[in-house]
Structures are given as structure tokens and as C-alpha cells.
Amino acid sequence: MNHKRKALSKKIFFYLMISVLSFFILLPFFWMVSTSLKESKALTSIPIQWIPENVTTEAYVTLFNVFPFARSIFNSVFIAFAGTFISVLSAAMAAFVFAKIEFRGREILFGFFLATMMIPGNLVMIPNYLILRSLNLIDTYTGVLLPGFFNAFGTFLLRQNMKSLSDSYIEAAFMDGASRLRIFFRIVLPLVKPALTTVTVLIFMGNWNAYLWPLIVLTSKEKMTLTVGLSLLNGQHGTDYNMLMAGAIISIIPMIIVYGLAQKHIEGGLSVGGLK
């Protein structure tokens, strides 16, 4: 009986702590939504109105009128999806080579490949910018996407997962006359779906939230991403907090959707990739 009481007390304490933690985590998001639906005069009212008295979508309407916000959303969607697709595909192909194809110096080459993870991204921005300028790729989508085509962390995570696969699948496919490309797409990728989903979500979030590199490469408003557009909006309309919060809410919606759809695969992908 005492054992059951202790277990029940621990469970109650656990859920209580999780509830309190969740409250403080969700509080800023609730404030963002509340602020975006307020009138301008209600932003500085005392006491603070957590629930707006007069709900209005004026901030969202104004947001699309004062700035090419719809175009910025399109730019972010295109760059995030295109960059994610190319990065995940290249990482998966490299992981397959390092995990399942034997060749001399494979481990040494993989070690050098992983060593690039120790180089800070800010350190290579100037060389990358100079290279893109010499190729006339400044203020282009290609210039934003090109440095992120190869992802060392994604390659590492997928390689660890692919190494856990039995070679019997590949050997049986070879005996049936399947090519390496067919084995890669039809056999290996479906078997590493959790890790592949994890890498996809992580790279997508990185591309969607990227700020400094698009700010450096893209110079025209028509090509600026959502994060860059929000920063410019903050400079032009620093007191319009309801409009800023409306833009912030729009910017986080795609990440919530993507993470919600892939949530069940992410934990398994990270655990397998880190432990194998």
C-alpha cells in the first residue's frame, strides 16, 4: 500500500511540475497571440489586458499592406523546402556511401568530413560571400542555398542509423539485380525513415529560421525571407507591437505544423542515431 502511495505521489508531483513548466513555456506564445489581436491603444493599457476586450485582426491586415509580407513568406517557403530537400538528399547519399560501401580511406575521409562541424558557421561567411560574389550569385536564391547543400550533422546521424541495418538486405537486392541507386531509394531510405524524418525537420527549422546569411546575400526586398522582413519591420515600425507579434505568429506556424506531423518519428530517430 505504501509503495502504491509513493508511486502515486511521484506521478502527481511529476505531472504538477510538467504543468507548471508548460504554463511558463506557453505564456509568451499566449502573449504574442493576445497582443496581435489587440487594438493599438490597448497595448499600453494598465492593468495589462491578457484577453483583449475588442478583438481585431487589423494588425494582420496592416502587416500585408506596409510590407511585401506575402512575397517574404513565399521566399522563406521556397528556400526552406528547396534547401531541405537538397541537404537531406545529399546527406542521405553521403551516409549510404560511408556506411555501406567499402573503399580505402573511408573512415579517415569520414573523420575529415565530421571535422567540418567544429568550424563555426560565422567563420566561413566571408569566404563564402567572396566566392558567391565572384560567381555573380549575390541577391539570388542559389546564393542562399549553395553553402547549405552539404550537412555534416545530417550525414553523421543517418550514417549511424544505416550502419545498424543488416547487410543481408543489400546483398539480397544485389543478387536480384538491383543497382546501388535502386537499393538506396527502395530499401535503405524506407528502413531509416525515423532518422530521415528527424534530419529533415532539423534542417527545415534551420533553413526557416536562418537570418544572418539571407540578410548578407539578399539585398532586394522582393527576395528577402520572412525573418529578414520581420527585422526590417521592427526597424520601420518599432512601436507597432501588435503588428510585430502578428508577423512572429505567422513565422512560427510552419514550424509547428512540420514538427507536429513528424513528432512521432523524431525521438526514435535521435535515439537510434545517437546510440548505435
Give pLDDT, residue 275: 43
Please state, rounded to an integer, the average pLDDT across all residues of the chain.
Answer: 82
Same domain, 83 and 9: no
Same domain, 63 and 51: no
User: Which of 56, 80, 100 is a domain's end point?
Assistant: 56
Alpha helix positions (H), the chain? 2-36, 58-66, 69-100, 106-115, 125-134, 141-145, 152-163, 167-175, 180-183, 189-191, 193-209, 212-217, 226-236, 241-275
Same domain, 85 and 19: no
Same domain, 36 and 157: no
Q: What angle (nearest 5°) sits at the alpha carbon of residue 33, between those of residues 26 and 78?
A: 95
Same domain, 159 and 93: yes
Q: Which domain holds residue 16?
A: 1-56
Q: What angle (nearest 5°) sits at the alpha carbon of residue 127, between those of residues 125 and 133?
A: 100
Give the pLDDT mean for 158-165: 88
Same domain, 85 and 164: yes
Same domain, 115 and 1: no
Give the pLDDT mean for 167-179: 84
Q: What angle (nearest 5°) sits at the alpha carbon of residue 231, between those of residues 229 and 233?
A: 70
Close Cβ partners of 259 (under 8 Å, ≥ 6 residues apart): 201, 205, 266
Same domain, 51 and 122: no
Same domain, 11 and 84: no
User: Which of 56, 74, 102 is a domain's end point?
Assistant: 56
User: Which of 56, 74, 95 is a domain's end point?
Assistant: 56
d(CA 273, CA 162): 9
**Amino acid of residue 174:** F
User: Given pLDDT bands bounded at 50, 70 and 90, which one contains residue 266?
Assistant: low
Work out the end-to-end distance of the chain between its first and last CA atoms, rounded to an integer number of angstroms: 41
Give pLDDT, residue 42: 64
Q: pLDDT: is 61 or 267 the higher one?
A: 61
- CATH at 138: 1.10.3720.10
Quote the DSSP letter at residue 103. Answer: -
Dihedral sign from CA coordinates of 103, 105, 111, 113: negative
261, pLDDT greater than 60: yes
Q: Domain tally for the chain?
A: 2
Same domain, 5 and 89: no
Same domain, 167 and 191: yes
d(CA 243, CA 237): 8
Number of other residues whose CB lies within 10 A of the CB of residue 116: 13
d(CA 210, CA 191): 30
How confident is the model over 55-114, as pLDDT tens digits?
Answer: 777 778 877 877 778 888 899 999 999 999 999 999 999 999 998 888 888 889 998 888
